[in-house]
Structure 1
Amino acid sequence: MSDAFTGDRIILNDLGFFGYHGVFPEEERLGQRFYVDLELGIDLAQAAATDDLAASVNYGKIYEAVEAAFTGRRMKLIEAVAHNVATALFEAFPPIRWIKVRVRKPEAPIAMVRGYAAVELHRVRGEA
């Protein structure tokens, strides 16, 4: 793991969304449930010392930004969904230094008895 992904972080797991992302026509027509897990690298020292929300990032606002990015447009690949989420979070919250975003698709159209298909992107602000 890169040193860029160390330090303080805000973690949100199992954010559930219904969407129409996917390659197949059935996915576009019927939709399915997706789950998003996030780790957001942000210096939380001032928030911890002052107990002041203004020194952190509001979890509710994070959720709203993820929901808007997730539902804003249909995409074929969950890789693109994850990228869209990361980009939206960097744009909405300047204090975020790095992001790990995982998009899980438990009903992927593959022959699996249990589990899920997922992608995880690691992004650092200012890097491609």
Structure 2
Amino acid sequence: MADSFTGDRIILKDLGFYGYHGVFAEEERLGQRFFIDLEIGLDLSMPARTDRLSTGTSYGDVYDVVKQTFEGERTKLLEALGQNIVDALFMAFPTVDWVIIRIRKPEAPIAMVRGEAAVELHRQRNSP
């Protein structure tokens, strides 16, 4: 499966958001910080050859989809939030073949002095 996640990719790291996702009432009421690392696999040969944004995928547009999805439906689990973002990216960008998303929660309600809780999803576009 790892071989499927090779080739060209767009990478966005440390995207910071404030949100209300989580299982506990305090998380829903007070919210907390989340950080997202994202890799999307797609063929970048055309924009590389033409140097024209119109032949590629805008990082700004990718960010907008992530932000809109993050701020949309509240989820209890990071896994569900990640899947919602993956689904939105596949819907918005038909040329995306795969997505790797890591969602980090530095203030997770567990007794840790330093560190963060995180999930990472690896998803491929479903073949027809």
**Same fold flag (TM > 0.5):** yes
Alignment match, 1:71: 71
Alignment match, 2:105: 105
Alignment of 1:1-128 (within 5 A): 2-126=2-126
Deviations 1:74-110 (A, max 9, x none): 1100011100110000000011000000100000000
CA distance in 2, matches of 1:108, 1:90: 28
Give the AA of the match of 2:117. A
Give the percent of matched residue pairs that are identical in Structure 1 and Structure 2: 62
CA distance in 2, matches of 1:124, 1:54: 24
Secondary structure at the residue paired with 1:66? helix
Secondary structure at the residue paired with 1:107? coil
**Regions of 4+ moved over 4 Å:** none
1:51 Cα deviation from its structure 2 partner: 0.3
Deviations 1:43-70 (A, max 9, x none): 0011101001122110111111001111
Deviations 1:16-66 (A, max 9, x none): 111000000000000001011000001001110100112211011111100
Normalising by structure 2, what TM-score?
A: 0.96
Normalising by structure 1, what TM-score?
A: 0.96
CA distance in 2, matches of 1:3, 1:12: 21
CA distance in 2, matches of 1:76, 1:58: 30
